[in-house]
Amino acid sequence: MNGGRGLFAIYCLPLMFTGIIEDVGRVDRWEMRGGAGVLTLKTSLPLKEIGVGSSIAVNGACLTVVKRSKGCFTVDVSPETLERTNFRDLRPRDPVNLERPLRLSDRLGGHWVTGHVDGVGITERIDRRGEFTFFQFTVPQPFQRRLVPKGSISVDGISLTINECHKPSFSVAAIPFTLRRTNLRSRRVGDRVNIETDIIGKYVQRLLPGAA
């Protein structure tokens, strides 16, 4: 009986990501259709391992692959995703962060990322200090309470550690490896980024008396 319950728990694990970016793809085509969109991306990921119907995180948003072609895949973007993400800003050749879902056998190198973006933040400041690059992002008020120094956060799908919090903003430091392997290297002041706060913080906030 105990073994059965254990297997049931494993099979019921939700789809998760780690925030460790596997590839920086490029926008091939971005087509708006009414209040939704169809996005085709170029990638170096092994498409034989990404079947139609598979999930993939695109700039931190979990989307479903609906079509594959040589070196490209296509996803549908719902009105809800358009509302909560920076996808409306995308243009052909723009870099996007890509990550496949976590497998049960994988190590968790970043933190638990659900692929459900909370909203967009604004890049307020970029400072290069020696080998490190510091980014400051302003975020909407509803999820400022979930930001804590040394806590985890996903920015465009990248697992980062918060350095400092000064409402309404927070800062992170990117090492050279992170800049090379993500679209952070192309970010400029004023750019909008997808933000997903730590899922543990969401549950804690929900359980607190008087929390929204």
Residue-wise pLDDT tens digits, 37-81: 999 999 999 998 898 999 999 999 999 999 999 999 999 999 999
Distance of CA 49 to the CA centre of its chain: 21
Q: What CATH number should be reported for the domain holding residue 172? A: 2.40.30.20
Average pLDDT over residues 92-101: 96
Q: Do residues 95 and 134 share a domain?
A: no
In sequence order, the β-bridge partners of residue 138 are: 122, 169
DSSP strand E in the chain: where?
A: 23-33, 36-42, 55-58, 61-69, 72-77, 95-99, 119-129, 132-138, 152-155, 158-166, 169-174, 192-197
Domain that holds residue 127: 119-207
Boundary (domain end) residue, out of 99, 134, 162:
99
Go through the chain and tell me how many residues it has.
Answer: 212
pLDDT score recorded for residue 95: 98
Tokens 């973007």 identify what position?
A: 77
pLDDT score recorded for residue 104: 64
Alpha-carbon radius of gyration of the chain: 18
Could you tell me the pLDDT band of residue 1, with boundaries at 50, 70 and 90? Answer: very low
pLDDT: which is higher, 200 or 172: 172
Q: What's the pTM value of the predicted model, to 2 decimals?
A: 0.86
Q: What percent of the chain has pLDDT over 70?
A: 83
Boundary (domain end) residue, out of 67, 99, 131:
99
Contact 120, 84 (CB under 8 A): yes
Poorest-confidence range of 20-24, 28-32, 110-114? 110-114
Q: Identify whether 7 is part of a domain.
A: no
| pLDDT for residue 136 is more than 80 | yes
Q: Identify whether 104 is part of a domain.
A: no
Helix (H) or strand (E) segment spanning residue 204 = helix 199-207
Q: Identify whether 33 is part of a domain.
A: yes
Could you tell me the pLDDT band of residue 2, with boundaries at 50, 70 and 90? Answer: very low
Domains identified in the chain, total number: 2
